[in-house]
Amino acid sequence: MSRNIYGLDLGSYEIKVYDKKQKSIWREKNAIAFADEKEIFAVGDEAYEMYGKTPDHIRVVFPMKEGVISGITDMQYLLQNLLKRGHQFAYGSEYVIAVPTDVTELEKRAFCDLVLHSTARAKSVRIVARGIADAVGAGIAVEREPGIFLVNFGASTMELSVLSYGGIVLNRLLKIGGMHLDREIIQLVKNRYQILISGRTAEFLRKEAGLFPDRQESIYQVPCKKLGTGLPKYKEIPGTLVKTALREPLSDCVKEMTALLKRTPPEVRQAIEQKGIFLTGGMASLSGLDRYLSHAGGWKVTVANQPAICAVRGLEKIIHNKNLHKLTYEMSVENDRWIR
């Protein structure tokens, strides 16, 4: 019998973990700070606080990139460190991991290797498509619904999932997320004002300005550096500029959603048209995003409750409900192969 079961949702910016023994969900930034390129200086939230503020000899890295693990060793160290810190981490535990569907088998395998072949010494690993975990976490009875369209807006990816009766019909992973939108803001500010703002500042502007103008347009004073001299200063940025920067990438999102719907079987698409589209992920909280998608695509759009932790709440339900275990795949430690 395993000592504990963990549900893991590994995002590009944040790790979400459900701990069955403690009956709790906790979140920590998915970041490591290195000093002099090799010495680990800080991890998690502490490392993220240094992002964009560090001296030259300290570098902050994110072991996840565009939905997949880009640095397995760094990711293993980070996860083990966070599990031990303030939590009753147990070796030989079971893990249920939410993974993107539209990635290679090798990339999926890396999620399992993260805990199978590390000091965590996992007893077993089950994986579930993130779209399914999101739907379960959103309170949707996935096994009974003939058609669900779910969009997970994350930090570096946008995952589109069409589900029917508990299975994936179509899935698309796009390299468009919060960080991409922030780069668009940085570029437009640079072109318009000849100044450079940080990723953290761009993220602040995105979250504060949203997508629809207020009755009285907001102005944000932000720190920046003047191009050419590099001298620090403050600059007032109008909210309308942020909306302009986001217009093109979000228009691309609408095109991708429309294209996937067109490929959806008619009976599934009919059910989706009745229920509408569900939004999850941290970016789903962007002010006005649901209104924008509804206006641009002509869809009914619903933002899930607490969208940023939707997938890990789905993992919690799957762990506790034996009837939902069939939604997962298991990786056998003994023979090292996928079984259903």
DSSP string, 236-297: EEEHHHHHHHHHHHHHHHHHHHHHHHHHS-HHHHHHHHHH-EEEESGGGGSTTHHHHHHHHH
Least confident of 6-20, 31-45, 184-198: 31-45
| 103-115: average pLDDT | 83
| 23-40: average pLDDT | 87
pLDDT bucket at 311, cuts 50 / 70 / 90: very high
pLDDT score for 296:
93
Q: Output the average pLDDT for the chain.
A: 88
Cα distance between residue 189 and residue 175, in whole Å: 22
- Is 327 or 36 the better-scoring residue by pLDDT? 327
pLDDT score for 248:
92
pLDDT digits (tens, 9 = 90+) for 200-248: 899 999 999 888 765 567 899 999 999 988 899 999 999 999 999 999 9
DSSP per-residue letters across 34-66: EETTTEEEEEHHHHHTTTTT--TTEEEE-SEET
pLDDT bucket at 335, cuts 50 / 70 / 90: very low
Q: How do the residues of the chain divide into helix, strand and coil, expressed in percent and rounded to 5?
A: 40, 30, 30
Contact 316, 25 (CB under 8 A): yes
Q: What percent of the chain has pLDDT over 90?
A: 58
Cβ neighbourhood burial of 306 (10 Å; 0-12, 13-18, 19+): middle
- What's the Cα-to-Cα distance from 67 to each of 32, 107, 112, 176, rounded to whole Å? 17, 9, 14, 10
- What's the Cα-to-Cα distance from 52 to each of 11, 33, 264, rounded to whole Å? 19, 11, 42
pLDDT score for 1:
43
Q: Which long-range contacts (CB under 8 A, 24 or more apart) does 255-261 make?
A: 256/158, 256/160, 256/172, 256/174, 257/149, 257/151, 257/160, 257/293, 257/297, 258/297, 260/149, 260/160, 260/162, 260/170, 260/172, 261/149, 261/162
pLDDT digits (tens, 9 = 90+) for 68-81: 888 888 888 888 77
Helix 239-263 to helix 289-297 angle (10° resolution) is 50
| 250-266: average pLDDT | 95
Cα distance between residue 135 and residue 14, in whole Å: 20
Cα distance between residue 306 and residue 94, in whole Å: 26
CB-side neighbour CA atoms (13 Å) of 251: 6
Cβ contacts of 314 within 8 Å, gap of 6 or more: 98, 128, 132, 133, 134, 135, 136, 137, 138
Interior CA angle at 259 toward 258 and 261, to 5°? 65
pLDDT score for 215:
52
pLDDT score for 244:
93
pLDDT score for 121:
72
Cβ neighbourhood burial of 44 (10 Å; 0-12, 13-18, 19+): buried
CB-side neighbour CA atoms (13 Å) of 154: 31
Torsion (CA) 27, 19, 326, 282 in degrees, nearest 10: -10
pLDDT bucket at 338, cuts 50 / 70 / 90: very low
Task: Classify residue 229 by its DSSP letter.
Answer: T
pLDDT score for 112:
83
pLDDT bucket at 316, cuts 50 / 70 / 90: very high
pLDDT score for 116:
80
Q: Which two tokens stand for residue 92?
A: 């030989």
**Nearest alpha carbon to residue 92 among 116, 72, 65, 60:** 116
